[in-house]
A and B are shown apart, each in its own frame.
Chain A
Amino acid sequence: GAGVSQSPSNKVTEKGKDVELRCDPISGHTALYWYRQSLGQGLEFLIYFQGNSAPDKSGLPSDRFSAERTGGSVSTLTIQRTQQEDSAVYLCASTPMVGTGELFFGEGSRLTVL
């Protein structure tokens, strides 16, 4: 597709379960970001991938959170043993260049942990 695609768009899970969120960036974009947006809040940086470089994981809130990017394209954000405070919209963005600021966002995956 033409834009960043995220799936699922909505996910309801029980506390303690693991979830996987997927992001398909725009073709050719080398940089990929994950952000978390809680209700009424700004965007919290989670992790950043750039080409084949080691990802910047400095924003991951705990070791229950991990992400990978296979083949420099699709990325998966995994949350293990989900907690209620993990409930949020998880946004993925891609950009062709580092530092341009123009991130192209997907529509997000809304996670609700019961």
Chain B
Amino acid sequence: GESVGLHLPTLSVQEGDNSIINCAYSNSASDYFIWYKQESGKGPQFIIDIRSNMDKRQGQRVTVLLNKTVKHLSLQIAATQPGDSAVYFCAENPNNNNDMRFGAGTRLTVKP
């Protein structure tokens, strides 16, 4: 799962399995959340977002779940593929201000 610290959390899954990446956010006033995917040597890419008036949002093979009670966000990837191997970051945007706060990231490795 996601945490702030010196070591990047890791998740290893078998190709075809579902992946769940977790993130605990810090600011109860945050009203907008985003998941980004960062492949090696590249900048982060937007995956999916969710606003605080929702608890679930689905995209293509991805679902984001938001639990405001415990300040927890998760990203579910269905039928994980080798191309999904990357570092995944959650980000929060408290009060729609300019400062997007990123978590430390989780490294997902998909085994063939």
Contact = CB atoms under 8 A, between A and B. Distances in A.
Interface of A: 4, 31, 33, 35, 40-45, 48, 50, 56, 58-59, 91, 93, 98-108
B93 to A, nearest CB: 6
A18 B79 CA distance: 47
Interface of B: 4, 6-8, 32-34, 41-46, 49, 89, 91, 93, 96-105
A44 B33 CA distance: 16
Contact of B46 (A31, A98, A101): A101
Contacts of B101: 45
Nearest to B2: A42
Contacts of B43: 4, 91, 93, 105-108
Contacts, number: 67
The SS class assigned to the B binding surface is loop
A101 B99 contact: no
Contact of B34 (A41, A101, A106): A101
A107 B41 CA distance: 7
A40 B99 CA distance: 21
B100 A101 contact: yes
A47 B8 CA distance: 24
Contacts of B34: 101-102
B104 to A, nearest CB: 4
A104 B10 CA distance: 25
A56 B32 CA distance: 20
B4 A42 contact: yes
A43 B44 contact: yes
Contacts of A33: 98, 100
A104 B42 CA distance: 11
Most A Cβ at <10 Å: residue of B43, B91, B99 = B43
18 contacts: A33-B98, A40-B8, A41-B8, A42-B104, A43-B89, A44-B102, A45-B101, A91-B44, A98-B96, A98-B98, A99-B32, A100-B49, A101-B91, A101-B100, A102-B49, A103-B44, A107-B41, A107-B42
A106 B43 CA distance: 5
Contacts of B91: 43, 101
